[in-house]
Amino acid sequence: MAKKTKPVRPAARLPKGFRDIEAAELRATQAMLAAIRETYERYGFEPLETPAFEYTDALGKFLPDADRPNAGVFSLQDEDEQWLSLRYDLTAPLARFVAENYDRLPKPFRRFATGTVWRNEKPGPGRFRQFTQFDADTVGTESVAADTEICMLAADTMEAIGIKRGEYQIRVNNRKVLDGVLEGIGIDPADPEGERRLTILRAVDKLDRLGAEGVALLLGPGRKDESGDFTAGAGLEQNAIEKVLAFVASGAATGDATLDAIAPLVANSESGTKGLEELREMQSLISAAGYDDGRIRIDPSIVRGLDYYTGPVFEAELTFEVTDDDGRPVRFGSVGGGGRYDDLVARFTGKSVPATGFSIGVSRLQAALARLDRQSAAATLGPAIVLVMDRAELPRYQRMANDLRNAGVRAEMYLGTSGMKAQMKYADKRGAPCVIIQGSNERDEGVVQIKDLIEGAKAAQSIADNKEWKESRPAQVSVPEGDLVEEVKKIIARHQG
């Protein structure tokens, strides 16, 4: 008799650089996105959704990690043998949309968008190949008032989601100023190849992560990371490295003082002088609007890693420290950024269309809110659970669940076949605020028992033994069946507010 072969089964494994996101985080994120959306709409931005795939040539090659396979994007060919790529941000698709619909759009065109983006980059701790962004952009005006407004929007958004004033900064610089510094060390910003300039920009963009010593290696011979991977440097001489580092370290106590410190470094550069004038105008607008109280500040160390920025650039940085699971201090740093990209639409039309925008890294910002314990309680509460004490009474229990749902309460009847103890464990795992219990005695009396699981857990911590627990019946009340909905609503309101 032939020996039976075991079926070949695929391993249940998560692709490298990706992650599963479960209910509690999803709900908390949705609450945060609603607050961001409300802020963006208050500024007059309109929603727009573009597809996950774009033609590869429409996206362009602007990613920070250009040395990765497929130029940092995930790509495939369609039935017409044309290359498609998953979008790596929401800005390049916006440029395609504007170019395709330019004549019918109002100018300036103001849009916001949220969605998933993908990058074929080397994954690492907290760095994934799939993540969510939330963008706002203004297209069709050269005025730096638009850049300033985007910075104000970023500040207001931080506060709308629960980041307090003093716990964040919107830091501003200008690519033209940095180009002026590069001209001073013999780098031509107008070079069509521009690889050396881009290597310098990407090196400086890593300052908050690698420090001055790490950036100096990337500006010079190159750097080997902890895994042993080597990143080639820009090959600058030591005096040129020192000039770049001196520029990024020239921040002062006030915006005006910082601009005065920068001025001598770009005095002989037309591009640098123009960038400095733009920063001075932005500083004037920031002060007039009252955002120069620490919320928005000029910072020469901000450059941004993407290649398409042409003027002001900005980052939202969280300045507070928290501790990780091992008790070590952690600083979240940048949770969003953006800048001016006047040439992106011109790739399609040949005509320069000025634009500026800002993008929030949703997952990183959500992680910060979780560390601060400022997530919405409503986002983390599970449904109220109607326990099944007698399977012959399933219709009765189902009616209770339906009454709660019809009153706007998240609720479910336990659908398993286990006993009371297992049902209570299920409710705990679901994060239920309470369970509804009705056995034969309660049914005869026309009442239900409602156990507040959250208050019960708190009370149980201070109860010495099982006898005391039974006698006190912590956080458990008996109410007439007709008062079920009202009492459950009271419990939920108590834990949401």
Q: What is the pLDDT of residue 286?
A: 96
Report pLDDT for 224.
Answer: 85
Answer yes or no: is pLDDT of 497 > 80: no
Q: Which amino acid, one-letter code, is at 363?
A: S
Percent of the chain at pLDDT exceeding 90: 53
Q: Please answer whether residues 51 and 96 qualify as being in contact, where contact means their C-beta atoms are separated by less than 8 angstroms.
A: no
More confident site: 435 or 200: 435
**Gap between the Cα atoms of 88 and 71, Å rounded:** 11
Strands 130-139 and 355-361 come out as antiparallel
**Stretch 85-94: mean pLDDT:** 93
How far is residue 240 from each of residues 183, 219, 301, measured CA to CA in Å? 11, 9, 16
The DSSP bridge pattern shows strands 384-386 and 434-437 to be parallel
What pLDDT score does 157 carry? 97
Res 464 pLDDT > 60? no
Percent of the chain with pLDDT over 70: 90
If pLDDT is split at 50, 70 and 90, which confidence band does 139 have?
very high
pLDDT at 143: 96
d(CA 347, CA 96): 9
**Cα(158)–Cα(175) distance, rounded to whole angstroms?**
24
In the chain, count H helices and then E strands. Answer: 19, 18
As beta bridge partners, residue 329 has 323
Identity (one letter) of the amino acid at 86?
A: L
Per-residue pLDDT for 66 more than 50? no
User: In this structure, are residues 381 and 495 in contact, taking their beta carbons and an 8 Å threshold?
Assistant: yes
108 Cβ contact partners less than 8 Å away, ≥ 6 residues apart: 138, 139, 140, 141, 146
Q: Can you list the domains of the chain with their CATH numbers?
A: 23-372 (3.30.930.10), 381-496 (3.40.50.800)
Q: Please, what is the average pLDDT of the chain? A: 87
Whether the pLDDT of residue 203 is over 50: the answer is: yes
When mean pLDDT is compared across 53-57, 155-159, 330-334, 354-358, the lowest value belongs to 330-334
Distance CA(131)–CA(17), nearest Å, equals: 10
Q: Best-predicted range by mean pLDDT among 26-30, 109-113, 127-131, 162-166?
A: 109-113
Q: In the predicted model, what is the mean pLDDT of residues 269-281?
A: 94
Q: What is the spatial distance between Cα 204 and Cα 233, in angstroms, rounded to a whole number?
A: 11
Residue identified by tokens 């920025």 is 309
Q: How much is the pLDDT for 367?
A: 84
CA distances from residue 117 to 56, 62, 82, 93, 150 in whole angstroms, order as listed: 14, 14, 21, 11, 21
Cα 252 from Cα 388, distance rounded (Å)? 66
Per the CB < 8 A criterion, the answer to whether 304 and 205 are in contact is: yes
Cα distance between residue 200 and residue 459, in whole Å: 59
Taking residues 443-472, report their average pLDDT: 72
Q: Which two tokens stand for residue 131?
A: 């993540």
Residue 132 tokens read as: 């969510």
Region 179-194: mean pLDDT is 76
Q: Which of 75-79, 274-278, 361-365 has the highest mean pLDDT?
A: 274-278
Per-residue DSSP letter, 392: G
Q: Which residue has the tokens 């949705």?
A: 30
Is 313 in contact with 339 (CB distance < 8 Å)? yes
User: Packing angle between helix 362-372 and helix 23-42, nearest 10 degrees?
Assistant: 110
- pLDDT value at residue 358: 96
Instruction: Report how far residue 340's alpha carbon sits from residue 342's, in angstroms, rounded to the nearest whole number.
Output: 6
φ and ψ at 275, to 5 degrees?
-65, -40
pLDDT at 415: 95
pLDDT tens column, 438-447: 999 999 999 9
Average pLDDT, stretch 32-40?
95
**How is residue 390 annotated by DSSP?**
-
- What token pair was written down for 32? 């945060």
User: Which one is predicted more confidently, 407 or 186?
Assistant: 407
Peptide bond into 7 cis (omega under 30): no
Contact 404/433 with Cβ under 8 angstroms? no
Read off the pLDDT of residues 377-398 as tens digits, 9 standing for 90 and up: 555 688 999 999 999 999 999 9
CA distances from 355 to 89, 95, 302 (A): 15, 9, 19
Task: Give the residue carrying structure tokens 């190159």.
Answer: 222
Backbone dihedral region of 121: left (phi > 0), alpha (psi from -120 to 50 degrees) or beta? beta
| Owner of token pair 């219990």 | 437
Give pLDDT, residue 67: 44
Q: How much is the pLDDT for 220?
A: 86
pLDDT at 311: 94
Helix, strand, coil % in the chain, rounded to nearest 5: 45, 20, 35
pLDDT digits (tens, 9 = 90+) for 222-264: 898 877 788 888 888 888 888 888 887 877 778 888 898 888 8
pLDDT of residue 339: 95
Q: Residue 221 — φ and ψ, nearest 5°?
A: -75, -25
